[in-house]
Amino acid sequence: MKVKVKQWNGVASWLWVANDENCGICRMSFNGCCPDCKVPGDDCPLVWGQCSHCFHMHCILKWLNSQQVQQQCPMCRQEWKFKE
Amino acid sequence: MSTNSLVLCRGSPEAWATVSAALVKQCNSHPIGDGFIHLPPPSVRQCVSEELAVLCTSGLGRHLESWLLNRLQTSLATAVAPEFLAGLEQPENELEERDRARVLLDAFHTLLEKLEPFIGGLETLGRWQEEGRGGLSGPGAEALRDRAFTIIRARLLFSPPAALRRRVLEFYSRTFSVHMSREGRGREGGSAEDGGPEDGGGACPGCVGPAGHCWCQEALLQLQELSDILRRLQLLEQVSSEAVTSIMHKLLEQRMEQHCRGEYERSFLVDFDEWLELVFGWLDRVFASTEEEGAAGSPQGWTPQGWTPTLGPGAAVRGSGSMLEQWRRHMHQFFCRVYVNMRIEELFSIIRDFPESKPAIEDLKFCLERTNQKQQLLTSLKSAFESRLLHPGVHTSDILTVYISAIKALRDLDPSMVILQVACQPIRKYLRTREDTVRQIVAGLTGDTDGCIDLANELSRADPVTLEMQDSEDEGGALEDWLPDPTDAVKDKTGSKRRSSDIISLLVSIYGSKEIFIDEYRTVLAHRLLHQLNYNTAREIRNVELLKLRFGESHMHYCEVMLKDVADSRRINANIREEESKAGAGPGEEPPTPPPTPLALSAMIFSSEFWPQLKEEKLELPPAVSQAMEAYTHRYEKLKAMRTLSWKPHLGSVTMDVELEDRVLTDLTVSPIHAAIILHFQDKSSWSLEELSAKLGVSKETVHRKLALWQQQGVLREEAGGQYSVLETGSSRERLERSVLLMDSDEEGDSNTTTQLEQREEKLQLFWAYIQAMLTNLESMTLDRIHSMLRMFVATGPVVTEMDVNELEAFLQRKVREHQLMVSAGVYRLPKAN
């Protein structure tokens, strides 16, 4: 007997490779999106800081913009620098 | 003065004789039926008035009146009434109908003859009284006449003999049918009246007499005559009303029964209006022939309504006219009532047939506005629903179909929607108890089932009503059209303006919230998208857009993301394919372990947060497949930084050819687990259930179930000892015919998504933490208390509003059974042991 698979339609879910489930700022799931967004994934990406904490990009930007003096990671209070 | 006293002494007996004779005899002499009261010649008149003066002066004048009435009464009692009755009682059995009619007429003739003198006398006396002749005073002609007729009526008709009633009824029925047949023919022939001599070939349709012996004309004349006599005696209404009423009622009901019952696709109002006009023509003959008389006759003619000299003849016309008018109203009213009664009985069938039965609904609406039978309609319709629709034998989709028809029909019937609201209450209540209601409605909305195409149409209707109604804007333009609620409206919190007639909003509101529907729709959508082989979502996009119009953007947001995932998946697939082909061409990179035949793998990649929860199942795929998936994941990770894929091995579909020694099964579409099984048989032609189960990481039961498909296809065979092996040569050719098979045919309805029930269960589970916390703090609580606390504190999502007390109670009861909770006297507490 020979089985020839012509087409295999698989199903998968995508997820962020992050060390946490939820965004520390908005408390929403990383795999979802920040409160201001409608669509997850490309439209609401995650960013990592050098402190290795990560957030929804929109969340951390909002946070950084609201900081007057020094821009710190909201989790560890180190200076926030985007990880390249 | 002195002469007067002399006359008084000498002449009073003579004077009495003269006057009384003049009163009674005078009328004897005049011919019957001409309507005039002949005055005696002047000489006699002169003499009578002198004698009258004599009587008055002796104080006897006032006794004239009572004497005359007394004589009338005595003669009625002793002679006239018995004779009249005897005349009627003539041997009727031997007589023909025609002769019976004559007998009836004769009896009345005699009656009139006998009574005429008295009536004439009273007339004269009344006139004298009015003129005040000879100093006579009294109530006047009209009052006297009234008194006399009261006496006659009382004597004759206090308890009308059965014979009279029977004869009158027969007579009127006959003349009625004569009239109807004539008028009907006249109408058809174009000339309305007096169609001339009609003698067709057969029996006359009017009098049913043999040909050539038609007595229609005679019957009509008799009718005319009888009406005249009765009117003279002021007996017309008393004698004929009953007969006329019963004839007309009977015929109307008959006609209705024959023409309208079961016939909903035609309007009958005009029909019956025409028919009633014919009937009124007959009534006219019965009651209103006075019109000619009143108009042409002398002022002294008297009419049943009482003639008043000051108003002149016009009054008489008006009098009989108003009587006819009364009859007309009565018949219209009666028609409406009979019609409504019949349609109420049939309303369920009318609703079931709805768009076709629209004329019936419109007729009913017209009639219902004129009778006060809404309540009756509601009661009857409700019980019809309950006995014919709301029982376990009816499929949910059928109930929904009828409900939708009912909405359409009843909103036509009653624009205030009160009937709709009240009558359909039982349906809504019942639907709430059916588990598949939501599923059916959603299926209908998306056009999945054949039964409820209506719903899909309704959804795509232009100008949809959004389910979130804005109170303020609604009222803006319609202030002038505002009508108060009918008194029988159900007072509810939503108020009248919310009484919606929109089918979808009504259906959705069965459960009181749209979240359930949206969740269900999401489940259906997920199911569909996962089973689609291509990425074609045009129909789903349309549905989602339409639903968005109704449910609002925010509620359909998840569904939009789902659709976007499909589109994204297609792009990613194309992208990865391209990469693959490039990689294959490029010399540098090589797939880690190139499979013997490169597996064409495409993926549906979804955003887990936005899809309904999918069932988690374990399945170990054959290495070739899982390697392909790994490779795919690698490429995906390259494409989308910091993201990876988590495969759901049991989901999806596989298209494959199976080549056996003597046959090929082409283009089989199966689920991954089926594919995995058959792929394993490619390496080794015989497996035991245990081995397969271990290899696939799936329970033996499941494997066994899935193997059935291949057995069915004649590819595998179960052998002794639980071994399965490949059937290389087909035992029978016919198996080949069935090359196309349904995926998952062995487990119908086993959806990949978790069911509604399971999801609710999970939501309730969410509450458990709250309940535990509450009970820890407050020790013990009643059911209601728990419910209201949950409502207060957990009011974050839509979940609470959907949960009613009963559901919570069921949940708590289960916890009690599981020994996680204790209940005594309706108070819940946590078990002490913990």
The residue written with tokens 């209201």 in the block is B788
Q: What is the pLDDT of residue B317?
A: 42
Question: What value does the mean pLDDT take over residues B307-316?
Answer: 37
Cα separation, B55 vs B64, in Å, equals 9
Q: What is the pLDDT of residue B204?
A: 62
Count of CB atoms situated within 10 Å of the CB of B183: 19
Contact B654 A8 (CB under 8 A): yes
Q: Could you say which residues from 609 to 648 on chain B have a Cβ atom under 8 Å away from some Cβ of chain A?
A: 609-611, 625, 628-629, 632-633, 636, 640, 642-648
3-state DSSP call for residue B588? coil
Whole-number average pLDDT of chain B = 72
Q: What is the pLDDT of residue B424?
A: 83
**Cα dihedral B527/B528/B531/B537 (nearest 10):** -140
Cα separation, B176 vs B240, in Å, equals 13
A41: DSSP letter: B
pLDDT at B322 over 60: yes
Q: What is the pLDDT of residue B137?
A: 62
B569, B609, B632, B667: best to mutate for the A interface, most A CBs within 10 A: B609
Cα separation, B823 vs B783, in Å, equals 10
Write out chain B residues lying below 8 Å of A29, CB-based.
609
What digits encode the pLDDT tens for the residues B624-642?
A: 888 888 888 888 888 887 8
- On whether the CB atoms of residues B471 and B497 are closer than 8 A, the answer is yes
pLDDT at B591 over 60: no
Q: Among the listed ranges A23-32, B2-11, B681-690, which one has the minimum average pLDDT value?
A: B2-11
Cα separation, B92 vs B82, in Å, equals 17
Write out chain A residues lying below 8 Å of B667, CB-based.
6
* Beta carbons within 8 Å of B454's beta carbon, 6+ residues apart: B401, B404, B444, B503
Q: What is the pLDDT of residue B140?
A: 67
Contact A6 B667 (CB under 8 A): yes
Contact B607 A31 (CB under 8 A): yes
Q: What is the pLDDT of residue B451?
A: 54
More confident residue, B396 or B135: B396
Cα separation, B613 vs B631, in Å, equals 26
Q: What is the pLDDT of residue B135?
A: 61
Query: B601 at the A interface (CB within 8 A)?
Result: yes
Q: Which long-range contacts (CB under 8 A, 24 or more apart) does B159-168 make?
A: B160/B238, B160/B239, B161/B85, B161/B88, B161/B89, B163/B85, B163/B88, B163/B89, B163/B92, B164/B85, B164/B88, B164/B239, B165/B242, B165/B243, B167/B88, B167/B92, B167/B100, B167/B103, B167/B104, B168/B104, B168/B239, B168/B240, B168/B242, B168/B243
More confident residue, B690 or B184: B690
In this prediction, residue B187 has a pLDDT band, given cuts at 50, 70 and 90, of very low
**Percent of chain B clearing pLDDT 90 (strictly above):** 0
pLDDT at B658 over 50: yes
Cα separation, B540 vs B559, in Å, equals 9
Cα separation, B591 vs B813, in Å, equals 58
Tell me the H-state helices in B260-312.
269-287, 290-296
pLDDT at B596 over 50: no
How would you classify the pairing of strands B822-824 and B827-829?
antiparallel
What digits encode the pLDDT tens for the residues A45-54?
A: 888 888 888 8
What digits encode the pLDDT tens for the residues B256-273?
A: 888 877 778 878 888 888
Contact B647 A40 (CB under 8 A): no
Q: What is the pLDDT of residue B473?
A: 42
- Nearest CA distance, B554 vs chain A (angstrom): 9
Q: Among the listed ranges A11-20, B98-107, B547-556, which one has the minimum average pLDDT value?
A: B98-107
pLDDT at B154 over 70: yes
- On whether the CB atoms of residues B103 and B125 are closer than 8 A, the answer is no
- Which segment, A59-63, B192-196, B234-238, B594-598, is predicted with the most confidence on average? A59-63
Question: What value does the mean pLDDT take over residues B738-764?
Answer: 53
Minimal Cβ distance to A13: which of B642, B646, B681:
B646
What digits encode the pLDDT tens for the residues B285-301?
A: 777 654 444 433 333 33
In this prediction, residue A36 has a pLDDT band, given cuts at 50, 70 and 90, of confident
Write out chain A residues lying below 8 Å of B613, CB-based.
none
Contact A3 B656 (CB under 8 A): yes
Minimal Cβ distance to A6: which of B557, B655, B679:
B655
Question: What value does the mean pLDDT take over residues B463-476?
Answer: 46
Write out chain B residues lying below 8 Å of A1, CB-based.
658-661, 681-682, 685, 715, 726, 728
Contact A32 B646 (CB under 8 A): no
Q: Among the listed ranges B98-102, B650-654, B823-827, which one has the minimum average pLDDT value?
A: B98-102
Q: What is the pLDDT of residue B450?
A: 55
Q: What count of CB pairs under 8 Å joins A to B? A: 146
What digits encode the pLDDT tens for the residues B490-507?
A: 555 444 445 566 777 777
Cα nearest neighbour of B647 on chain A:
A12
Bridge partners of residue B652, in order along the sequence: A10
pLDDT at B703 over 80: yes
**Percent of chain B clearing pLDDT 70 (strictly above):** 68
Write out chain B residues lying below 8 Å of A6, CB-based.
600, 655-657, 667
Q: What is the pLDDT of residue B731?
A: 55
Write out chain A residues lying below 8 Å of B675, CB-based.
3, 5, 8
Q: What is the pLDDT of residue B109?
A: 78
Question: What value does the mean pLDDT take over residues B156-165?
Answer: 71
Q: What is the pLDDT of residue B8?
A: 44
In this prediction, residue B733 has a pLDDT band, given cuts at 50, 70 and 90, of very low
Tell me the torsion sign for CA atoms B236, B241, B243, B244.
positive
Write out chain B residues lying below 8 Å of A8, CB-based.
599-602, 625, 628, 652, 654-655, 672, 675
Minimal Cβ distance to B602: which of A4, A9, A29:
A9
Q: What is the pLDDT of residue B808?
A: 81
